[in-house]
Structure 1
Amino acid sequence: MGTMDVLFWQLVQRLSRGGYRIVRMSEQADEVWLESNHWRRPTLIRLVRADFDWSRSLRLDMEYTWQFVQQMRGWNFSKAGRVINVYVMVYPPVDDWEFLVAEPLPLSGVSDGVLHTLLLHSGNMGDVLPRLAEMTGVALRFEPPVETSDPFAAAERLKREVVREWRRRREEERRIFEYGKPMFTRLFIVVQVAMFLVLEWSGGSTNPDVLIHYGAKFNPLIEAGEWWRLLTPMFLHIGFLHLLTNTLALYYLGITVERLYGSLRFLFIYVTAGFFGALASFLFTPSLSAGASGAIFGLFGALLYFGTVYRHLFFRTMGMNVISLIIVNLLFGLLVPGIDNAGHIGGLVGGFLAAGVVHLPKHTALGRQAGALAVAALLVAAGLWIGFR
C-alpha cells in the first residue's frame, strides 16, 4: 500500500459518511461499491484501486463494469440515474487512454442512465477530485497521512476503520428488522382459525345468524349498545377463502411488523387497527361484516409509519412493494362489489396512528407520539359521536 491507497480509503470513508452506503466490497478490498441514500434516483459509485499498464486492460475492465451494472438487480438500480466508475492509480496507462473516459456510456433499460468513468492518478488529483466531489455532492480532498514516513500503515488504519464502520451499520440494520419475535402473530392466526371452526360447527361461517351470534359487526346491535362488536369482528371470517387470504396476509405482514415493533407494540397496533376498521365500517357500511382485513391493513399502516422514521431503509428494502400492495388492494375494493373498503381504509389509518403512538423500539419522539394520540382520540370520539347520535 502507498499514497494512492490512502487516497482510495479516504474516498471510501468520506463517501460513506456523506450520504452513501457500502453495498459491496471485494475479498481483496480493492473494489468497493457505494449507493447514495436518495431513493428516487440513487447514484451508484464503484471505486477500484488498480494499476493498468496498458489501456487495453482499462477498456476490458470498463466493459466488465458496464455488463455487471446491466445485470444488477436489488440495489435500487432499476431507478438509478447514474453510475460513477472511479479508478485510483499511481500512474495512468502508458498508451492513449483519455478517449476511453471522455464520454459517459449509456445504460440500456434505465431512463437517462449513464456510466461515467474517472481515472484518478497521482498526476491529476487536482483536476479529478473536484469533479468527483461535484458529481457526488460530497466534499472530497486528499489529506496526506500523519504517518508521512509510512503511508502503508496509514492506508491499513483507514481500511480497518471503514470495514469496522461498514460492519457496524450492517449489524444495526439487521437488529432493526429482528427486534421482536412473532409471538402474537401466531396467536392471532390460531384464534381466527379456531373461531372459524367454531362458526362452521355452529351452523356455518356464511350463516348470518351464526355470525351475529358470535360477534360480527351488525349496526343495529351496535347502536343498541353492543359496543364490543367493534372489536370481535376481526377474529371472524366469512367462508374458507376469506379465512385463507387473511391468514396468509397476517402471517407474512404480521411477522414483519412484530419483528420491527416488538410484541407489545404489535398487539396494540393490531387491535387498534381492527377497532378503527370496524368503526369505519360501522359509519359507512350498513351491511353485516366480519374479518381481520381492517387489522391487516393496519399492519400496512404500521409499515408506512416505519417509512417515515427510516425513510431510506424503507424504500431500499420494502417501500415500493408496500405502497403498491396498498394501492392494488384499495383499487380492488373499489372495483369489486361486496368488499368493505371503508373498513380497510379505517384499519390503514388506525394502524398508522397506533404505530405513531407507540413509535419504534429504542426511539423517543414524544411530540410525534402525542400528536398521533391526539389525532387518534379525536377520530374515535368523532366516529362514536356520529355513529351513536
Structure 2
Amino acid sequence: MDLTIMDNYDLLVMKIIHYFIVKENYSPIIIKGIEDEIWLENKNNEYSIVRIVTRKIINKEQYDYDVLKTKHIAKQLKRKLLDFSMNVLSIYLDKNFYTKEIDNFDDKYIGIVVKDEDSFLTNEYIKKSYKNMEDDFKYEETGFELVGRITREIEEKNIKEGKEREKFMKNRKPIATYALILINVIVFILMYLLGNGSEDTQTLINFGANYVVLTKAGEYYRIITSAFLHIGIIHLLLNMYSLYIVGTQVEYFYGKVKYLIIYFFSAIMGSLFTVALSSANTVAAGASGAIFGLLGSILYFGVKYRGYIGNSLINQIVPVVILNLIIGFTTPGIGNAAHIGGLIGGYLISMGVGIGIDNREQKSSRVNGIVISVILTIFMIYIGFMR
C-alpha cells in the first residue's frame, strides 16, 4: 500500500478534529444512534457544541431534517449539561452539499459548508470565533506522517489529562470536614453546660443564633456563629450526617482551602438570605445553609467536569436538592431562605475558586464566579440591612 497517497478530504476531517480537540480543548460527546458525525463540547467557547458532519446531504429536505434533529439533541443536552445558553456550530464536510452556503436565521444553530480547506479557513464564522486557526493549520508533515502526528497529539493530550485527573483525584483525608463536625458538636454540648440547652431560645440567642432583629441592629457576627448552632439533637445529627456525606466529597474534589471557602461563603449567604427574607423576630440556627452550599458545589463540579464522571453525579444531586427544598416549603419551622441562599452561594463561589483539573477551566470563568458572588453579596446586604 502506498502510504504517500491519502484523500485530502479525509485529511481535512482529521485536521479539523485535531484542531478542536488539541488546540481548543473540546471533548467528544457520545450520542447514541448518531452516525457519520462527531459532537464536541467546550462550555467555555462561543460555540459550546461543534458538530463535524461527514454524511452526504443532497437536498434541502435532508438538511431541514438534520437541523430539526440537531435542535432536538441540543435541547436534551441543555437539560443534561445545564447549559441553557448553548450555541451549536455544525460543520458540513461534504463536497457535494446541495448548496454552497447556508442561510443562518438562528444564531444559536449555525451551519457552514466546507468543501475544502480554504473554504473552511476563510469562513466568516470560523474567522470570527477562532482567530488563530489559520496558523494552527500549518503542518510540516504530509500524508500519513501528518495522520500519525495528529493521532499522537490527540493521544498525548488524553494521557496528559488522565495523569492530571489521577493526580488531582488522589486520596485526601477530609480533615476539614471532621474539624467542622467536631466544632459543631462541642458548641452543642456547651449550650447545655453553659446555658439551658439547644432548644432554649435565649440560650440560642446568647450563643449567637441569627436573631434577625439583633443581626440587623449591628450584631453581624451572628451571620457566621449561627451556622454552628443546632436546635435539638435530631437537628444536629441530621446536619452532621449530611455534612459528613457531602462535605467529604467536596473536600475530596476541591481540597481543604477551597472547601472551607465554599463552606463559609455558603453559610454567610444562607444567613444573609434569612435576614433579607424573614421576619424580624426570626431566630435561625444550623449548618443547613452551608450544607446546601456544598450540594451546590457538587452540582457545579458535576456540570463542569461531566466529561470525567458523566451525568450520574448531576442526576443524583438535583433530585436531592429539589426534595429537600420541597420538604422545606411544606414543613413548618424549616428555613428555606438559608437553603436557597446557601445553594446559590455554593454554586457561584465554586465557580469562583475553581477546581483545577485541567486547562478548560478558563480564567474568565473564575472571574465571572467571583464577580457574581460579590454582586450577590452586596445585593443581599442591601436587601437585608439597608432597604
TM-score range (shorter-chain normalised) is 0.5 to 0.7
Q: Which residue of the partner structure matches residue 191 of structure 1?
A: 183
Matched, 1:227 2:220: yes
Bigger radius of gyration: 1
- For 2:159 and 2:371, the matched residues in 1 are separated by 40
CA displacement 1:290-333 (0-9 Å, x = unmatched):
00000001011111221332123343442210111111111111
Change (3 A) 1:171 1:248: farther
Q: Counterpart of 1:299 in structure 2: which amino acid?
A: L
Q: Which runs of 5+ in 2 are unaligned?
A: 1-17, 21-27, 35-143, 146-152
Indicate conservation of the 8 Å contact 1:274/1:294, yes or no: yes
Q: Which residue of the partner structure matches residue 381 of structure 2?
A: 384
Secondary structure of the equivalent of 2:221?
Answer: helix
Q: Measure how far apart 1:18 and its partner are.
A: 12
- For 2:283 and 2:231, the matched residues in 1 are separated by 10
Q: Which residue of the partner structure matches residue 210 of structure 2?
A: 217
- For 2:160 and 2:385, the matched residues in 1 are separated by 54
- For 1:235 and 1:351, the matched residues in 2 are separated by 17
Q: Measure how far apart 1:215 and its partner are.
A: 0.5
Q: Which residue of the partner structure matches residue 339 of structure 1?
A: 334
Candidates 200, 203, 215, aligned match of 2:192: 200
Candidates 252, 257, 260, aligned match of 2:245: 252
Q: Measure how far apart 1:344 and its partner are.
A: 0.2
How many residue pairs get aligned? The number is 257
Q: Measure how far apart 1:169 and its partner are.
A: 6.3
Q: Which runs of 5+ in 1 are unaligned?
A: 1-16, 20-35, 45-144, 147-160
Q: Measure how far apart 1:166 and its partner are.
A: 8.2
Q: Measure how far apart 1:167 and its partner are.
A: 7.6
Change (3 A) 1:290 1:266: same
Q: Counterpart of 2:351 in structure 1: which amino acid?
A: G
- For 1:234 and 1:327, the matched residues in 2 are separated by 22
CA displacement 1:185-218 (0-9 Å, x = unmatched):
1110100011111112221101000000000000
CA displacement 1:70-103 (0-9 Å, x = unmatched):
xxxxxxxxxxxxxxxxxxxxxxxxxxxxxxxxxx
Stretch of structure 1 that moved more, 173-182 or 268-277:
173-182
Q: Which residue of the partner structure matches residue 291 of structure 1?
A: 286
Q: Which residue of the partner structure matches residue 366 of structure 2?
A: 369
Stretch of structure 1 that moved more, 359-368 or 296-305:
359-368
- For 1:43 and 1:207, the matched residues in 2 are separated by 61
- For 1:260 and 1:192, the matched residues in 2 are separated by 23
Q: Measure how far apart 1:171 and its partner are.
A: 5.1
Match runs of 1:67-86 below 5 Å: none
- For 1:216 and 1:196, the matched residues in 2 are separated by 12
Matched, 1:273 2:270: no
- For 1:18 and 1:320, the matched residues in 2 are separated by 32
Secondary structure of the equivalent of 1:246?
Answer: helix
Match runs of 1:342-361 below 5 Å: 342-361=337-356
Q: Percent identity?
A: 33
Q: Which residue of the partner structure matches residue 95 of structure 1?
A: none
- For 1:190 and 1:236, the matched residues in 2 are separated by 12
CA RMSD of aligned residues (A): 3.7
Q: Measure how far apart 1:173 and its partner are.
A: 4.0
- For 1:176 and 1:339, the matched residues in 2 are separated by 37
Secondary structure of the equivalent of 1:231?
Answer: helix
- For 1:165 and 1:366, the matched residues in 2 are separated by 20
- For 1:298 and 1:349, the matched residues in 2 are separated by 7
Change (3 A) 1:164 1:377: closer
Change (3 A) 1:227 1:333: same
The list of structure 1 runs, each at least 4 consecutive aligned residues, that deviate by more than 6 angstroms after superposition, is: 161-169
Indicate conservation of the 8 Å contact 1:359/1:365, yes or no: no
Q: Which residue of the partner structure matches residue 77 of structure 2?
A: none
